[in-house]
Structure 1
Amino acid sequence: MTLVWGVTLAAGILLVLSPWLWPAGRSRPETAAADRSQGAIARLLQGAGYAHAPAARVIVVSIGAGLLAAALAWLITALPAVVIVAAAVGVAGPTVWLRSRARRLRKSRRALWPDVCDLLIASVRSGMSLPDAVGTLATSAPAPLRPAFVGFAGDMAASGHFDASALRLKAQLGDPVADRIVETLRMARQVGGTELTSVLRALSASVRADTNLRAEVESRQSWIRGAAVLGVVAPWVVLILLATRPEGVAAYTSPQGVLVILGGAAVSIVAYRLMLRVGRLSEPRRWFG
């Protein structure tokens, strides 16, 4: 009987302390890390123009690319160390490609946002409501941006809810400047926007100035990226050529050879990242993404 009362008392104390020991909003560390990883992949897909693609697809493609790169490296060189490096490069390849595509999209769209601001200003000043002004961009906006605004017009026609449609438009565009424009329109819709045209005009002038400055700096620093790519690729081409000879295979399958390959891979990654960091301008962050 004493044991039963002891267990009952312990269970009662545990139930009393449970809100502090296991709060409802706390998730396990591995679950929280997985959620952050999924969120980072989703933001990367949005920036690359694949907002509707599932994040799991990137993981599957990365694993498949790693296996394919490892198989090709084994067929060409038959060096285990090179296979490991090739597998790592293959796994990272889709993510690197998505980041590169996101940068290219931001660069190509950067010069188009001032025109979008000007079109919005003209529509608002002509007396259009904000939903109609944004909806007309489906036909009047620059061609690369029209599909996103066509989707916004379809959302508005289906739901009639401007705020939800604007959020979906922002996710589909996945651009820092687009975030600022959409958030300005949402605020004007919710609290009134007597200064909307002046805000859009100031934003247009700011984006134009930033675009001109970036174009001038990037044209002068484009050689840095070319030098970084050449400096990283050249040693590995030489390694592949050496691995086609039996004495080269024997040398690089030894412990010292494996250490040289893995150390060379680490140095290549660090040097490439440093060269890109020197020649890259800081990109604006998606504060409202």
Structure 2
Amino acid sequence: MIIDLAAVLAGLLAIGGVVVGVVGVVGTTRPPRPPSALALRLRGWWTGTGRTRREQRAHQIKIVAGVGGGAVAWLLSGWPAAGLIVGVAVPGIPWLFAAASIEQQALNRLKAVEFWTRRLADIVAQGIGLQQAIVATAATAPRAIEQEVRDLAARIQANVDPAVALQQFADEIDDYTCDQVIAPLMLHLKDRGQGLHEVLAAISRSIAAEIEMRSTIDAKRAGPRFAVRFLSGMTIALIAYGAFKPDYLRAYSTPVGQLVLLGLAGLYVFLMILVRRLSLPPSRPRLLPPTGSPTREALA
């Protein structure tokens, strides 16, 4: 059975390779079209939510490892359900355990935005113009947003429209709190009003209070996160025990048993997703519409 399955998979891969090779050499007569919603969704699934190329590559490695691990589990056990479960578990378990690091990264970026806002307010208070003040902050930008601040300063020095440069900066940070900082800066570019230093200082104090509150809440979410780790560890130990004791899982070897196993695995994944959501703060929509969004185009 395993040999037949391997032969079928090899044949499908060979045929697919021939088709892709012919299309790549000959091409098509159809004019290029914008990617569909499904293509964009698949591309997002493949690249992940990482901000850097390194994070995206790590996400892709996990996906490839999941597919490979699922195929090996299927071939060794002869259970399609085992292959599917392993294929989902390989990238899924790190995703479950990453809740604490995600919130910590968000807090670090929030602290960086607060520091940058306070630094910008201090420079503006000395009578320096906003654009010159932004360029001056690039030298002391916090590490969490260092690249974004340097890109912003570079755009301003390259005579890019300051409002456009600030909008791009907000899109790169992609955070509601950062939009609270950028919005008054964009308004200041239009009216050149007084009191920008006071506004930025007040926003900085508000961000500092938010950081303190979120840090307290994050400490209370340690319980749900421990539950995720404990339940996942017990499940892995149970599967490992079944691998060494085939009689323990023999009831799932039938077609009906395979369906039951998939149902139990799906229920487990659903519950783990709910627990993970409890361990993360709710996401807030952007204050400034992203560039290219319908709302942004309507405002323009």
User: What range describes the TM-score normalised by the shorter chain of this pair?
Assistant: 0.7 to 0.9
| 1:37-186 correspondence to structure 2 within 5 Å | 37=41, 45=49, 48-50=50-52, 64-74=64-74, 77-90=77-90, 103-186=103-186
What displacement does 1:238 show? 0.6
Retained in 2: the 8 A contact 1:138–1:149? yes
After TM superposition, give the deviation of residue 122 of structure 1 in Å: 1.1
> Structure 1 residues 208-217 or 98-107, which shifts more?
98-107
Q: Which amino acid aligns with 1:49?
A: R
Residue 224 of structure 2 corresponds to 224
Q: Which runs of 5+ in 2 are unaligned?
A: 1-32, 291-300
1:77–1:60 Cα change, 3 Å: same
Of 192-201 and 134-143, the range deviating more from structure 2: 192-201
Deviation of the 1:119 alpha carbon: 0.9
Q: Per the alignment, do residues 85 and 221 of structure 1 end up closer, same or farther by CA in structure 2, a change over 3 Å counting? A: same
Give the length in aligned residue pairs.
Answer: 257
Match of 1:20 in 2: none
Distance 1:239 1:42 in 2: 28
Q: How far is the alpha carbon of 1:105 from its aligned partner?
A: 2.4
Which residue pairs with 2:203 in the alignment? Answer: 203
1:281 aligns with 2:286: no
* CA distance in 1 between partners of 2:207 and 2:61 (Å): 35
Whichever residue aligns with residue 216 of structure 1, its letter is: T
User: What does residue 4 of structure 2 align with?
Assistant: none
Distance 1:40 1:75, change over 3 A: closer
2-structure distance, mates of 1:42, 1:77: 28
How many Å apart are 1:235 and its aligned residue? 2.0
Give the match for residue 237 of structure 1.
237
Q: Is the 8 A contact 2:93 2:232 kept in 1?
A: no
Q: Under a length normalisation based on structure 1, what TM-score does the superposition of the two structures give?
A: 0.73
Q: Which moved more, 1:210-219 or 1:271-280?
A: 271-280
Change (3 A) 1:192 1:97: farther
* Structure with greater Cα Rg: 1
For 1:94 and 1:239, locate their aligned partners in 2 and report how far apart those are by CA, in whole Å: 17
- Which residue of the partner structure matches residue 253 of structure 1? 253
- What corresponds to 2:36 in structure 1? 31
Shifted more, 86-95 versus 132-141: the winner is: 86-95
Q: 1:232 to 1:112 in 2, by over 3 A?
A: same
* Aligned-pair identity (%): 20
Gaps of 5+ in 1: 1-26
Q: Is the 8 A contact 2:108 2:144 kept in 1?
A: no
Structural RMSD (CA): 3.6
Normalized against structure 2, the TM-score is what? Answer: 0.70
Partner-residue secondary structure (3-state), 1:136: helix
Deviation at 1:61, TM superposition (A): 5.5
Once residues 187 and 265 of structure 2 are traced to their aligned partners in structure 1, the CA distance between those partners, rounded to angstroms, is 50
Q: What is the one-letter code of the residue matched to 2:229? A: V
